């Protein structure tokens, strides 16, 4: 985290990297994240299936919160979120219970057959009344293959031509691997109906991201970073892996941590701005 001395040194009244998202206006969106947000909205309105994957710290949870804030403007769409912390223990029965709890005041039925009928009845009644539902599961990379196959059964519930439920899965990159038909051919029916998107690194929009973050706390990027810093930052945020090769980790969590370290170091050295040489030495 940035020290108080560092904030004073760079004339910032608040840390731009900690507890920084307090409203919709605090969320930085580039072309990739705007597309994903639009895809989430389409799934909620038209009852599709969407899987969002990304590295830890890529901003998936922030995007989900922003999406839910946007949905509050539309009273016709309601969100269902299972509360089980360990997603590997989700079952078809627990999904039914979550749906019943979030869409009605009824008690879940006991048998699986009764649960399924109850869920379908509740969702169909809501759809006929003009209300749509979207199921959102975070940490979806922990879902088991059987549950992913069951999700297709939930999605197939319909009232005439209208699907009763949209599904959004949010998880780390293991989710993308799990939804690889070559690795899990038994899930092909689900995979072929699922739109897959990935939160990409901010390599190409790193300057805009940092300019946005500093501006939100009253700072000017030109008074904090030297002009030649961005290309050096991009190179610094490359991870080398023997198995996967080189890949960028220019995601918000990694960027914020690196810049906090650099700004603290610049303050300790008495440098007016963060230089490219300083970044190289970290």
d(CA 127, CA 131): 5
Q: Which fold has domain 31-198?
A: Rossmann fold (3.40.50)
Domain at 4-20+202-281: CATH code = 1.10.8.60
Q: At what angle do helices 60-71 and 31-46 cross, to 10 degrees?
A: 50
Place of tokens 């072309």: 31
DSSP state of 191: H
Q: Which residues contact 163 (CB under 8 A, 6 or more apart)?
A: 46, 47, 48, 155, 156, 157
Residues of the chain with CATH 1.10.8.60: 4-20+202-281
Residues of the chain with CATH 3.40.50.300: 31-198
In order along its 282 residues, the chain shows pLDDT tens digits of 899 999 999 999 999 998 888 889 999 999 999 999 999 999 999 999 999 999 989 999 999 999 999 888 877 999 999 988 889 899 999 999 999 999 999 999 999 999 999 999 999 999 999 999 999 999 999 999 999 999 999 999 999 999 999 999 999 999 999 999 999 999 999 999 999 999 999 999 999 999 999 999 999 999 999 989 999 999 999 988 777 678 899 999 999 999 999 999 999 999 999 999 999 998
Cα-Cα-Cα-Cα dihedral sign, residues 253, 257, 260, 262: negative
Q: What's the pTM?
A: 0.92
């Amino acid at each position: 985290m940035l020290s108080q001395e560092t904030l004073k040194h760079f004339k910032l009244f608040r840390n731009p990297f900690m507890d920084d998202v307090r409203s919709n206006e605090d969320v930085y969106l580039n072309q990739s994240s705007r597309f994903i947000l639009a895809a989430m909205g389409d799934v909620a309105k038209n009852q599709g299936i969407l899987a969002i994957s990304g590295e830890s710290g890529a901003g998936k949870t922030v995007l989900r919160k922003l999406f839910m804030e946007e949905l509050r403007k539309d009273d016709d769409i309601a969100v269902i979120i299972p509360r089980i912390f360990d997603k590997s223990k989700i079952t078809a029965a627990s999904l039914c219970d979550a749906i019943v709890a979030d869409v009605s005041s009824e008690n879940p039925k006991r048998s699986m057959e009764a649960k399924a009928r109850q869920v379908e009845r509740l969702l169909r009644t809501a759809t006929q009344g003009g209300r749509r539902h979207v199921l959102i599961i975070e940490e979806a990379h922990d879902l088991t293959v059987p549950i992913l196959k069951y999700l297709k059964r939930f999605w197939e519930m319909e009232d005439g031509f209208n699907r009763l439920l949209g599904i959004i899965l949010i998880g780390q990159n293991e989710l993308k691997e799990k939804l690889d038909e070559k690795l899990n051919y038994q899930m092909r029916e689900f995979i072929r109906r699922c739109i897959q998107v990935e939160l990409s690194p901010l390599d190409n929009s790193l300057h805009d991201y940092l300019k946005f973050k500093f501006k939100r706390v009253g700072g000017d990027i030109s008074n904090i970073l030297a002009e030649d810093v961005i290309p050096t930052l991009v190179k610094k945020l490359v991870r080398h892996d023997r198995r996967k090769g080189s890949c960028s980790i220019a995601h918000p969590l990694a960027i914020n941590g690196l810049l906090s370290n650099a700004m603290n170091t610049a303050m300790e050295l008495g440098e007016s701005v963060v230089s490219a040489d300083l970044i190289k030495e970290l």
